[in-house]
Amino acid sequence: MEFFLDTGIIDEIKEAMHWGIVNGVTTNPTLIAKSGRTQEEVIKEIVTLIDGPISAEVISTDKAGMLKEAESLAKIHDNVVIKLPLTIDGISACKVLSDQGVKTNVTLCFSSNQALLAAKNGATYISPFIGRLDDIGHSGMGLIEEIRTVYDNYGFQTEILAASVRHADHVREASLVGADVATMPLKCMKSLFKHPLTAIGLEQFLKDHQSTLS
């Protein structure tokens, strides 16, 4: 499984990149807004830090506008992935971009039928929002399982990118059911390292080591 950092904050990327586990970055308009900078400024800096897929989202809601924005974003760097909403216009734009060899990430996916549409039009990634489904009493992880089954049934190459990841258990469960990628906030990624028995064991080892020095 690949790990993407879900952020528009450059300092967070700089902190995590040294761990050796970050494969890419996803952004959205909300995350970019938190940075206080323009999307173009942020993406241009991110591509200098991480050599991997960097998702940048279009703002337009019509196909023509999406394609115009995509053309501009794709020129920033070969690693830029165009993030499109799962709408009729978004899926239509996905087909055009896929045929042109431009990588795409279809976002705001909440059903396996939607994921099927994205795969049929050649999306590079599909982003099911597992946390938001959990919030309304549905099973986000159940959706990941459904999409995995559908894609495996038909040999689709679209990668399942688990999004709206809230905690370490989401990452664990997504890895067990076969998501290709998990994108998560820095806080969540840090939590993957932690276990109380690791901390207790390390404390005991250090204590025992000190006793050999006295």
Residue 48 belongs to a domain with what CATH number? Answer: 3.20.20.70
| Pair of tokens at residue 170 | 């989401």
Q: Cα(44)–Cα(40) distance, rounded to whole angstroms?
A: 6
How many Cβ atoms are within 10 Å of 148's Cβ, its own excluded?
Answer: 18
Q: Which residues are catalytic?
A: 83
Total domains present in the chain: 1
**What mean pLDDT comes out for the span 70-76?**
97
Looking at the chain, the whole-number percentage of residues with pLDDT higher than 70 is: 100
End-to-end CA distance of the chain: 45
- pTM score, whole prediction: 0.94
Structural domain range at position 193 = 2-213
With a pLDDT cut of 90, the percent of the chain lying above it is: 96
Instruction: Tell me the per-residue pLDDT of 17-41, one tens digit each, with 9 for 90 and over.
Output: 999 999 999 999 999 999 999 999 9
The arithmetic mean of pLDDT across residues 175-198, rounded, is: 97
Kindly report the CA angle at 33 between 12 and 132, in degrees rounded to 5?
A: 80
> What's the CA gap between 38 and 180, in Å, rounded?
29
